[in-house]
Amino acid sequence: GAGVSQSPSNKVTEKGKDVELRCDPISGHTALYWYRQSLGQGLEFLIYFQGNSAPDKSGLPSDRFSAERTGGSVSTLTIQRTQQEDSAVYLCASSFTGGADSNQPQHFGDGTRLSIL
Amino acid sequence: GENVEQHPSTLSVQEGDSAVIKCTYSDSASNYFPWYKQELGKGPQLIIDIRSNVGEKKDQRIAVTLNKTAKHFSLHITETQPEDSAVYFCAASGGNNRLAFGKGNQVVVIP
């Protein structure tokens, strides 16, 4: 398919473990975004990549959260020493180049549902 | 930062009737306003968007209106069908590529 692909679709892990979530953006999209959606809530911005650089990582909730992007394509979001409050759906989106004053439509994957026991 | 509020939280309509969802935003610098539809277990799907240089945009049964002075924008769905039942999210951005989302609106279309 030509859409944003995320894996795994579901992840259950024990408190204290590290997890890695993967996002494969739409081919040709240089901008990539991570959001978090808690039950019954809207989406909370986490981090934005332009190419391999992250000009805005202000939404990451703590230093346990990190993300990287390599080759201008696939991105991984890593949560270290997971806590129960990290349980949520983690959504990735991508768009064509979004520079300053240039909003481009963001297209989302189906997310990774993370459950911390 | 931008704060987006969305009302009502739940909306039930009879099939064939119209549905209207309203959102307000706080940052007058916001200039891009997309609407997303989210079905259970799926990611949000972009259904329509509007930029601040226009007041209205229409795509078949869906339209969005924007009032920059009052800082609110609305989604209008006409001739609703059961497949329109979903959660709808509005969002706003000021050009920094960071979307601020409302909390969502559950629309239920009653056959």
Strand partners of residue A95: A31
* Residue numbers in B near A102 (CB within 8 A): 95
pLDDT at A101: 52
**How many other CB atoms are found less than 10 A from the CB of residue B83?**
8
The 10 Å Cβ neighbour count of residue A31 is 20
Coil, helix or strand at residue A116: strand
Least confident window among A10-19, A88-97, B87-96: B87-96
Q: What is the model's pLDDT at position A99?
A: 56
For testing the chain A interface, which of B97, B99, B106 should be mutated: the one with the most A CBs within 10 Å?
A: B97
Which chain B residue has the Cα nearest residue A42? B103
Q: Do B95 and A100 touch (CB under 8 A)?
A: yes
Question: What b/e string do you get for A70-85 counting C-beta neighbours within 10 Å, with b at 16 or more?
Answer: eeebebebebeebeee
Query: How far apart are alpha carbons B10 and A41 in whole angstroms?
Result: 13
Residue with tokens 């769905």: B77
- Of residues B51, B96, B103, nearest to A56 (C-beta): B96
Residues of chain B neighbouring A56 (CB-CB closer than 8 A): 96-98
> What DSSP string describes chain B?
---EEEE-SEEEEETTS-EEEEEEES-TT--EEEEEEE-TTS--EEEEEEETT-SEEEETTEEEEEETTTTEEEEEE-S--GGG-EEEEEEEB-SSS-PEE---EEEEEE-
* Chain B contact set for A98 (CB, 8 A): 97
Angle at B108 between CA B106 and CA B111, to 5 degrees: 170
B44-85: pLDDT as tens digits: 999 999 998 889 999 999 999 999 999 999 999 999 999 999
Which band of pLDDT confidence, cut at 50, 70 and 90, is reported for residue A100?
Answer: low
Neighbours of B23 (CB within 10 A): 25
CB pairs < 8 Å spanning A and B: 66
Which chain A residues are Cβ-neighbours of B91 within 8 angstroms? 43
Give the Cα separation of B43 and A63 in Å (integer): 26
Report the pLDDT value the prediction gives residue B9, as an integer from 0 to 100.
87
- Return the SS3 of A4: coil
Confidence of residue A1 (pLDDT cuts 50, 70, 90): low
Q: Which of B98, B101, B105, B106 to probe the A interface (max A CBs under 10 A)?
A: B98
| pLDDT top residue among B87 and A97 | B87
pLDDT attached to residue B97:
74
What is the tens place of the pLDDT at every residue in A10-65? 999 999 999 999 999 999 999 999 999 998 778 999 999 998 998 888 899 999 99
B20 in Cβ contact with B78 (< 8 Å): no
